[in-house]
Amino acid sequence: MAQHSSKGARFQAVTANRLSDGEVVYLTADNQWAETFPAADIADGAAAGEALLARALPADFELHVLEPYLFEVLQDGAHFKPASVREIIRAAGPTVRLDLGKQADAKQES
Amino acid sequence: MHKDYQLVKDGALCQDEWHYSDDETALSDAPTIISLTRLKAEAEVLRARNAKLGVRLLADGNGKTKLGEDVAELAPYLDMLSLVSIDFPTYRNGRGFSAARILREQFNFDGELRASGDVLHDQWAMMRRCGITAFELAPTVSLEVFTKAMDELSEAYQPASDDQRGALWKRHA
Amino acid sequence: MYRYDEFDHQLVGERVTQFRGQVERRVSGELSEDAFKPLRLMNGVYLQLHAYMLRVAIPYGTLSSKQLRMQAHIARKYDRGYGHFTTRQNIQFNWPALDKIPDLLEELATVEMHAIQTSGNCIRNVTADQYAGAIDNEVEDPRIISEIIRQWSTFHPEFTYLPRKFKIAVTGHDNDRAAIKLHDIGIVIKQNELGDIGYEIHVGGGQGRTPFIAKKMADFVPKAQLLAYLEAVMRVYNRLGRRDNSYKARIKIMVHETGEEEMRRLIEAEFAKIDASQMLSVPQAEADRISAYFANPAFAALPATSAAMETAQKQDADFARWVRANIVPHKQDGYAIVNISLKPIGGVPGDATDVQMEAVADLAERYSFDEIRVTHEQNLVLPHVRLDDLKTVYDELQAHELATANLGLISDTIACPGLDYCNLANARSIPLAQEISERFADLDRQYDIGELKIKISGCINACGHHHVGHIGILGVDKKGTEFYQISLGGSADENASIGTITGRAFTEETIVDAIETVVTTYKDMRQDGERFIDTYRRVGLDPFKERLYA
Ligand code: SF4
């Protein structure tokens, strides 16, 4: 799981999978779990990252999400994007089935 | 030693007449469970002791050895033992299942076999099938939950240490 | 095919009820994820990148039409309209919701299937030669003993929490299609001079981080003693196998560290004790009952050739090519073994849609005595098709994009799910398989290259069998970017070998060119009639290395 690591990253966000259906979710600024990456709260610096992850770990989240962890994100102009291929794929869906996953929902909405 | 478990023996909650002792404390006449290390070191003396003796078999080397204690090490002492407490350090470590069957089926041990340590809900019934008769359960487990778990699977495919014969044999009984 | 009796039905039913209870307790918060995870894994439920994944066991790779139709139904109702056939002859669903899985399993149980022991450190689904019962010169149908092993190993009270997972494969044929030497236990069915059936046992093969070819532990275990022998191997392993390091916990490491001789001695000593009790010899009547399920279907007496087929071959060049590539001779005159490639050019290896599964189920029902097989190379098989029906079957397959004529060729790639789905992945596997098949799309070019097995894994766990690919590709990760390592000279058959890594890894952009370089090198050097693996074994790694890193 080498792609799991976010060591040395400046910007980080927290992700997990939802208990009921495994959907990829992101921790938002108001401590909700959102289904899309742009809604994720971004921490700047290692200490902020730790604090962000700490918000994800309270026991009541156990009931809603699985295995929250930090991952690296990169600043891209005014926006952020996941750094690793793994997180890009989690945020979008399988690259071999563009009709499935979040990328497909996004298409339907637009 | 403080007991952080409740004992279920032959399907019923009961008072545990046994206690665990460390390797230093002098042994009383009460039924006592000691370590294999102590058993080996003091076997001569212990043989002369006129009280019930049990041993705890540790499945895990705790980083000191790769394997932990092997059931074969008990063979020279079986006549002294009324109980073997088989340690299941985590639910993942299933060495104790083999230890139990070897004790029952190859060493013909007929004393108490108890499971101690971290045990999962659906492992209880498997332990019973391997010849374990007593269970040290977390205080939070109710007897109803335990009893129900024991009956979740009513048949077995294979023989083990209990009297179920297994489907492959039973179909043509 | 084996049919459940009341025992099987009851046990599988009870297991579903048990799991339903566990899921309810998890969702209500009574069970923590730590407590629940081992329970869901024992029932084949993984958490992957985008969702849960359910792995359903296909015992020894045999399915009835009804069972395959159920997979189509599950794909439609609980998933996104497709399933993925794996290198362990199982099927995986990529998107089921946790709270619906008990219902799914209940429906699955109605066709005598389950997801028990498809994960966890237990004895996994037994795999076997996909041509069982159809190929000529088979000693005995491997599914008979596989079914007995399935039953013996299901909910085994002693061997459900082993040091690591445990895989058993069986073949009854000299040509090994089940990769038995790459399993924890590989079984070859043999007949001795007296005409008795017994088993040659190989122990300690495996892939993953440290690949090993299994060592032959016994030449001939008599039929009645097989379960005692297996129980002996399992007990030695459970009792003395390492648990201190999960990378060293497979039995292959134990065999390697203990030494072949000592391992044999331990097994034989335990075997003598277990066998003495006679507790594990299956009653003859029960063995007979199980073998009867695998008796020959009612084959018709037919001539060895078919005029209809020959005419069609002359008229339709595509059909002729498909016959040449995907059809294997059957033991019965007038019949053929039909391989259905799940590797269309540019497709996802091993994936089949609900509609495709239904089409294959229909064909099996009409033309193959209701039977389908799944291969570890991620294809399907109709084991008993009349030569006279081949053209009809072909046309129907063609209509569903299931008639790619590439069996055993460069585009018949094995690929694990990789980073598109898998939580453990370092790199993607599927896009690579797609690009390679597109690069070599031209079938004539593929025939010219000849037998060439490319196998791709997205991480060192080696689900895509890269160690035993003629060309193996392993995805590695460098700081969140994908790289690919090539190995050459692996093989999974009766002459099994582990491939050798060529050198430094290639980027996503250069890997397909590198594969083409390997193929060109082979073509430049091959002598008459040599397959890739023959040339490689003759010339070794160096000429390939020179060209790759020139
Ligand atoms: S080889 Fe690795 S990436 Fe591929 S399916 Fe197995 S665990 Fe996942």
> What average pLDDT does the segment B100-129 reach?
92
The answer to the question of residue B1 being in a domain is no
- Asked if residue C472 has its Cβ within 6 Å of ligand 1, the reply is no
Least confident of B54-58, B159-163, C57-61, C297-301: B159-163
The answer to whether the C134-292 and C414-548 domains have the same CATH topology is yes
With cut-offs at 50, 70 and 90, classify the pLDDT of residue A106.
confident
Distance in Å from the first CA to the final CA of chain C: 54
C29 shares contact with chain A (CB less than 8 Å): yes
Question: Given an 8 Å threshold on Cβ–Cβ distance, is B160 in contact with C18?
Answer: no
Q: Which burial class, exposed, middle or buried, applies to C334 when counting CB atoms under 10 A from its CB (0-12, 13-18, 19+)?
A: middle
Residues in chain B: 173
What contacts A107, CB < 8 A, 6 or more positions away? none
Q: Where are the domains of chain C?
A: 6-109, 134-292, 307-399, 414-548
Return the SS3 of A21: coil
Question: Nearest-CA neighbor of B100 among B119, B89, B118, B87?
Answer: B87
Q: What pLDDT was estimated at residue A1?
A: 42
- Asked if residue C464 has its Cβ within 6 Å of ligand 1, the reply is yes
- Asked if residue C49 has its Cβ within 6 Å of ligand 1, the reply is no
* AA identity, residue A21: D
**CATH code linked to domain C414-548:** 3.30.413.10
Q: How far is the CA of C183 from the centre of ligand 1 (A)?
A: 17
- Asked if residue C417 has its Cβ within 6 Å of ligand 1, the reply is yes
With cut-offs at 50, 70 and 90, classify the pLDDT of residue C222.
very high
Residues of A in Cβ contact (< 8 Å) with C51: 17, 21-23
pLDDT digits (tens, 9 = 90+) for C257-295: 999 999 999 999 999 999 877 889 999 999 999 999 999
pLDDT digits (tens, 9 = 90+) for A51-93: 999 999 887 778 889 989 999 999 988 899 999 999 999 999 9
**Number of folded domains in chain B?**
1
Q: What pLDDT was estimated at residue B154?
A: 82
pLDDT averaged over chain C?
Answer: 95
- Residue of B66, B102, B171 with shortest CB distance to C286: B171
Residues of C in Cβ contact (< 8 Å) with A15: none
State the virtual CA torsion across C256, C259, C262, C268 in degrees, nearest 10. 50
C197 shares contact with chain A (CB less than 8 Å): no
Beta-strand pair C481-488/C185-191: unpaired
C509 shares contact with chain A (CB less than 8 Å): no
Distance CA C455, CA C506 (A): 16
Least confident of B161-165, C387-391, C400-404: B161-165
Distance CA C492, CA B38 (A): 51
Residues of C in Cβ contact (< 8 Å) with A66: 33, 47
Q: What pLDDT was estimated at residue C356?
A: 98
* Kind plus residue range of the DSSP H or E element containing C226: helix C226-240
**What residues make up the domain containing B108?**
6-171
Q: What pLDDT was estimated at residue B173?
A: 66
pLDDT digits (tens, 9 = 90+) for C426-485: 999 999 999 999 999 999 999 999 999 999 999 999 999 999 999 999 999 998 899 999
- Residue of C7, C239, C280 with shortest CB distance to B95: C239
Return the SS3 of C314: helix
- Residue of B91, B152, B160 with shortest CB distance to C14: B152
Distance CA C279, CA B145 (A): 32
Instruction: Give Cα separations from C501 to A6, C419, C428 (angstroms).
Output: 29, 22, 19
Residue C544 pLDDT greater than 80, yes or no: yes
DSSP C350-405: TEEEHHHHHHHHHHHHHHSTTEEEE-TTS-EEEEEEEGGGHHHHHHHHHHTT----
ipTM: 0.95
C420 shares contact with chain A (CB less than 8 Å): yes
* AA identity, residue C467: H
* AA identity, residue C236: V
The answer to the question of residue B85 being in a domain is yes
> What average pLDDT does the segment C501-523 reach?
97
**CATH code linked to domain C134-292:** 3.30.413.10
The answer to the question of residue B38 being in a domain is yes
pLDDT digits (tens, 9 = 90+) for B24-75: 999 999 999 999 999 999 999 999 988 999 999 998 877 677 788 999 999 9
Q: How far is the CA of C319 from the centre of ligand 1 (A)?
A: 35
- Residue of B97, B98, B155 with shortest CB distance to C7: B155
CATH number, domain with residue B40: 3.40.50
Residue C425 pLDDT greater than 90, yes or no: yes
Q: What pLDDT was estimated at residue A84?
A: 93
- Asked if residue C422 has its Cβ within 6 Å of ligand 1, the reply is yes
Q: C6-109 domain in CATH 3.90.480.20?
A: yes
Question: Nearest-CA neighbor of C464 among C350, C372, C345?
Answer: C350
Distance CA B144, CA B152 (A): 12
Q: C307-399 domain in CATH 3.40.640.10?
A: no
